Amino acid sequence: MNMGGPSTLDEVQFFLTNLFSDPDLIPLPLQKFSAPIIAKRRTPRIVQQYAEIGGGSPILRWTTEQGEGMAKLLEELVGGRFKSYTMFRYANPLTQDTLDEMRRDGIKRAIAFTQYPQYSCSTTGSSLMELWRKSKASKDGIEWSVIDRWGTHPGLVEAFAQNIQATLAQYPESERSSVVLLFSAHSLPMTIVNRGDPYVSEVAATVSAIMDRLGNKNPYRLVWQSQVGPRAWMGPQTSDALKGLAKLGQKNVVLVPVAFTSDHIETLYELDLEYGKEAKEHGLNLRRAESLNASPVFIRALADIVAEHLEAIKSGTRGYTSAQMGLRCPQCPHDRCGEQKAWFAKGGLH
């Protein structure tokens, strides 16, 4: 499960309309009417951005490759047959399309495995909300369990660490320990953060685990990207951090996309092109750690996470959902959130 992205330029407006129509991600006044208008206005600029990274997002290709690799490993680790399905929130294949495919395949047991390692109501929460709505309406009889967060899993941490080490190795050995690691994650509006969303703390936990694995040898900061609109968002923004580091006399910086599991527009355009250009203008020697993509270490981590999940349910040490998933944000304004969590906690069978 992930947000998805337009595979071609013709799909950009469809993707943006779905994205701006989601109140769990971007609450808007009169959303049903305002979302299509905003999407239409933004489409030409976003089309140009996708054109500059090859004419579309590679997220479907990477997600498919990761899922197929995971399923193959699971058949070796656990035994039996496994099949991965891609379920995107805003692009094809959408939630309903994937559910229809699963129904045609006769699936009766499934795991909702979010590809956002750190939980947020606006990302994993939104995808689960959509899955709940569509499944409840169709009464497809699938028994569900949920992997809702895994930001400190050792396999994920190792995959990130290896990519960072490979990037640091590109700097002269005499400068390597002074290179600043900038961990960049998609930002959140402060309205969501302040109601108790766990995303910020979970991203910070991922960063801390990675730095422990690396021996805490480099200076680092956690920064935030992709702010949209005039409202207050979690900061500092990645762009502002690069500018500030340059003013402080820093020369070498590695950008690490710490909340994404594959390349897409936020890495290929925003990090590589936008921030790459800004860094050059500020006199920074900026490099980016490779995204996880088809990393064998990462794909093995996905398989291990699923195998551990299944074993925990079989042994009775956990239920269909995690203890954390059952807790609503202290200032949660949506009753539907509690209903969705309760439905998944029962395996979606009641």
Catalytic choice (153, 186, 264, 309)? 153
CA angle 273–222–151, rounded 5-degree value? 100
Q: Are 129 and 340 spatial neighbours (Cβ–Cβ below 8 Å)?
A: yes
DSSP-derived secondary structure letter, 151:
T
The H or E element containing residue 154 is helix 154-168
Q: Are 267 and 54 spatial neighbours (Cβ–Cβ below 8 Å)?
A: no
The contacts of residue 223 (CB under 8 Å, 6+ apart) are: 182, 183, 184, 185, 235, 236, 237, 238, 241
255 φ, ψ (degrees, to nearest 5): -90, 135
Q: Which residues pair with 221 in a beta bridge?
A: 182
Catalytic choice (22, 263, 304, 309)? 304
- State yes or no: is 350 an active-site residue: no
Closest CA to 269 of 284, 288, 282, 252: 288
Residue listed under structure tokens 């337009």: 6
18 φ, ψ (degrees, to nearest 5): -65, -40
- State yes or no: is 304 an active-site residue: yes
Q: Are 90 and 3 spatial neighbours (Cβ–Cβ below 8 Å)?
A: yes
| 79 φψ region: left (φ > 0), alpha (ψ -120 to 50), beta (else) | left
Catalytic amino acids? 153, 304
